[in-house]
Amino acid sequence: MSLSAGTWFMIIGVGASVFVISILWSERILNFLHQKSLGSRDIIIKRMESMFIESSEKQLTYLMLLLSFGLGFIVFLFLWPSVFFSIFMGSVVTIIGWQIPKWGIEMLYQKRCSKFVAQMVDGLTIMSNGIRSGLSITQSMERVAESMPNPISQEFDLALSKVRLGVSIEEALNDLAQRIPEPDVQMLVMAINILKETGGDLASTFSTITDTIRERHKLHQKIDALTAQGKMQGIIMAIIPFVLLVVFSVIDLNFIGPLFSTTLGRIFILIMLALQITGGIFIRKVVTIKV
């Protein structure tokens, strides 16, 4: 079938537009692709190093390929009779699978940072008592590293090791604030660095910071209790469609067959997924309260 002149003109115009946009935004496009591919792997490796977890770049790459292209290929084969739908769903699973390790590591990293902040209450109490008894900051940190579990023990040991190698205590604490990017940690590091230069009562400062962390922790617990119902509702609303799909497939597979074998059914599935994602984003925005 021959194409009309208007059709050819449109094809050439679209191709030329794509070519020009690719040339003008080539650096942005390449940076975006790197960030979403190898950049994710680099972030995971950096996070694992921050958590003192030994990682192999080769093994991590294999794992990410298995979770992305491996699962995507399985979904593609499962939905193969429908070419467009199998390619679309396989691509979606591939993209999501590539991000799963990053999401998991970020969750572990945030949990570790939260645990460190929770340990600061006892750690600063020990440091405050040590300062009152005549110990220096590094000696007080050693007492915390010896008497408390990880992660505060690991972080303080790392900071003390840098000090023994000739790094200033200010620089070692600044590195600690970068590794644990929490407001309470930054407040502690800033207070120590300022008081070392200007002079002041470190013990009283530690007590004040401890009270601040304790009150903020209580506020976080109250917010979590108030938003727990909304979070649970969001999880239930997100799971229900997939649970019903599994139930109907077990009861009568022919009942849901048109969803995957007809064009209208595939459109409904895409609409359902779009609404699920949109609803999940809105619910997350509503129940997320930053303090």
The pLDDT tens digits for 82-97 are 667 777 778 888 888 8
Q: Which of 101, 109, 102, 89 is nearest to 63 (CA)?
A: 101
CA 209 to CA 283: how far, in whole Å? 33
What string of DSSP letters covers 125-186?
HHHHHHHHTT--HHHHHHHHHHHS-TTHHHHHHHHHHHHHTT--HHHHHHHHHHHS--HHHH
- Nearest partner of 156 among 132, 167, 134, 172, judged by Cα: 172
What is the phi/psi pair of residue 288, to 5°? -90, 115
The residue written with tokens 């995957």 in the block is 260
Question: Which 8-state DSSP code applies to residue 4?
Answer: P
Query: How many CB atoms sit inside 10 A of residue 57's CB?
Result: 11
Rounded CA separation 242/236 (Å) = 10
Residues in Cβ contact with 220 at an 8 Å cutoff, skipping those fewer than 6 apart: 291
Is residue 184 within 8 Å of residue 212, measured between CB atoms?
yes
Distance CA 80, CA 84 (A): 9
The predicted pLDDT at position 109 comes to 92
- pLDDT at position 160: 92
pLDDT tens, 42-79? Answer: 888 888 888 888 877 788 888 888 888 888 888 888 77
Question: What pLDDT does 230 receive?
Answer: 75
Which tens digit of pLDDT belongs to each residue from 187-219?
Answer: 888 888 888 777 777 888 888 888 888 888 888
Write out pLDDT tens, residues 227-285.
777 778 778 887 888 888 778 877 877 777 777 777 788 788 888 888 888 887 887 77
Question: Alpha-carbon distance 50 to 46, whole Å?
Answer: 6
Cα 151 to the center of its chain, rounded Å: 19
Q: What is the DSSP letter of 148?
A: S
Give tens-digit pLDDT for 156-176.
999 999 999 988 888 998 999
Distances (CA, A) of 45 to 54, 62, 101, 205: 9, 14, 11, 36
| Dihedral sign of CA atoms 223, 225, 229, 234 in order | positive
Does the pLDDT value for residue 2 go beyond 60?
A: no
Domain ranges of the chain: 115-211
Tell whether the model's pLDDT for residue 101 goes beyond 50: yes
What share of residues in the chain are helix, strand, coil (percent, to 5)?
85, 0, 15
Q: What's the rounded mean pLDDT across residues 173-189?
A: 88
Q: Are 77 and 71 in contact (CB under 8 A)?
A: no
pLDDT, tens only, 128-156 = 888 888 888 889 889 999 989 989 999 99
> Does residue 13 carry a pLDDT above 60?
yes
Residue 1 pLDDT grade (very low, low, confident, very high; cuts 50, 70, 90): very low
Contact 145, 157 (CB under 8 A): yes
